[in-house]
Structure 1
Amino acid sequence: MTERHRSIVDVHLVLRRSGRIVMLRRANTGYGDGMLHLPSGHLERGESVIEGIVREASEEIGVALEPTAIRCVHVMHRGAPGETDRVGFFFEADRWAGEPSNAEPGKCSELLWVDPATLPEDTIAYPAAGIRHIEAGVPFSVFGWSDTGI
């Protein structure tokens, strides 16, 4: 019997204010340190994607999201050689409680509001691709698979 394939599921938050989105500069994590990424993380066992994005928003940028205030705007299946593939859900919110701040200074060195149409060059490639797809209204993409050309 063939073993069933499993992917890691992660969640990403596109928090918008005045046409800009929140990004964090990663630090001390071992992945993408010094580069920009959306507030994000992977699911914990038994957690829904909605619960996951609400938790990550609180942990990483100190804001409270109501589940009814978020919407799924993109799903990405991404792979990288030698790594377990991931399915990422990108959620958008334009209302929340609290002021976004760098709530994990041990993992991020700064919080920035950036224009999604002109992302900084030091944005990690796959969230940059996700943001471009969201801005274009594309609901699904693959990233990093050799047979897709993406």
Structure 2
Amino acid sequence: MITNAHIRATAEAYLREHPQASDELAPLFGLLGQDAQLASRKEFRGHVTAGAILADTEGRILFIEHVALARWLTPGGHLEDQDEELMQAALRELAEETGIQPQHVVPLLDSPVHIDVHTIPDSSAKGEPEHQHIDFRYLFATGADVTQLQTEEVSGSAWHEADLLRGGGLKENVMRVLKERA
């Protein structure tokens, strides 16, 4: 299981590279100070999720169509008890949702390319109140393509230019790394 110590160390490493994100990550550090169980999806003050930003050999980014949200997003989701590290959780989610296995993926950074804090609306159907997701997003590259979609959660996939990425520095961070690697 991913520990709060691992979450804190990963977030601190990210802030060393992106000190301008300190205000955005204040809710995360507040929850860490309250000993919130951030790896548990039942922690409704807020919990951590992991995501994969996957670039192909042309620098395009993989998007999936999320069934429940009816939106195009990058792969990712909740942490599981068997996850030991955030990057590994992002790779697991990528494999589950797209069929692209970790051995066909190369991490482009050792730390997240972006950490996003966003509000999830309440869901009476799931019995979940409004809460925050703290999404640790990792950047990977691959020459592989989607092999099998997790149809209960994903209805489609497509590769798009990186400029379609949205949210608080994500696009800028990804495009900078991809440009440096080109």
Aligned to 1:132: 171
1:9 matched to 2:48? The reply is yes
- Offset from partner CA, 1:68-125 (integer Å, 9 cap, x none): 92232111223356522222111111136x43245212222110111121x2xxxxxx
CA distance in 2, matches of 1:102, 1:35: 19
Q: Are residue 53 (structure 1) and residue 90 (structure 2) matched?
A: yes
Relative to structure 1, the CA distance from residue 134 to residue 3 in structure 2 (aligned partners, 3 Å threshold; closer, same or farther) is: closer
CA distance in 2, matches of 1:23, 1:102: 14
Q: Which has the higher contact order (CA 8 A, sep 6+)?
A: 1
CA contact 2:139–2:174 (8 Å) conserved in 1? no
1:5 Cα deviation from its structure 2 partner: 3.5
Residues 61 and 161 of structure 2 are in contact (CA less than 8 Å); yes or no, is this contact kept in structure 1? Answer: yes
Give identity over the alignment, percent: 20
The separation in 2 between residues aligned to 1:44 and 1:53, in whole angstroms, is: 11
User: 2:102 maps to what in 1?
Assistant: 65
Aligned to 2:76: 40
Alignment size in residue pairs = 124
User: Structure 2: 5+ residue runs without aligned partners?
Assistant: 1-32, 39-46, 122-128, 177-182
> Which residue in the other structure is 1:19 paired with?
59
Question: Relative to structure 2, which stretch is displaced further, 83-92 or 72-81?
Answer: 72-81
Higher strand share: 1
* CA distance, structure 2, for counterparts of residue 105 and residue 57 of structure 1: 13
Q: Does 1:110 align with 2:156?
A: yes
Given that residues 53 and 62 in structure 2 are in contact (C-alpha distance below 8 angstroms), is that contact kept between their aligned partners in structure 1?
yes
Q: Which runs of 5+ in 1 are unaligned?
A: 120-126, 138-150
Separation of aligned partners in 2, 1:14 and 1:104: 17
1:61–1:100 CA contact under 8 A, matched in 2? yes
Aligned equivalents of 2:88, 2:174: Cα separation in 1: 24
Measured in 2, the distance between the counterparts of 1:53 and 1:13 equals 5
TM-score, normalised relative to structure 2:
0.57
Q: When you count helix as a share of all residues, which structure comes out higher?
A: 2
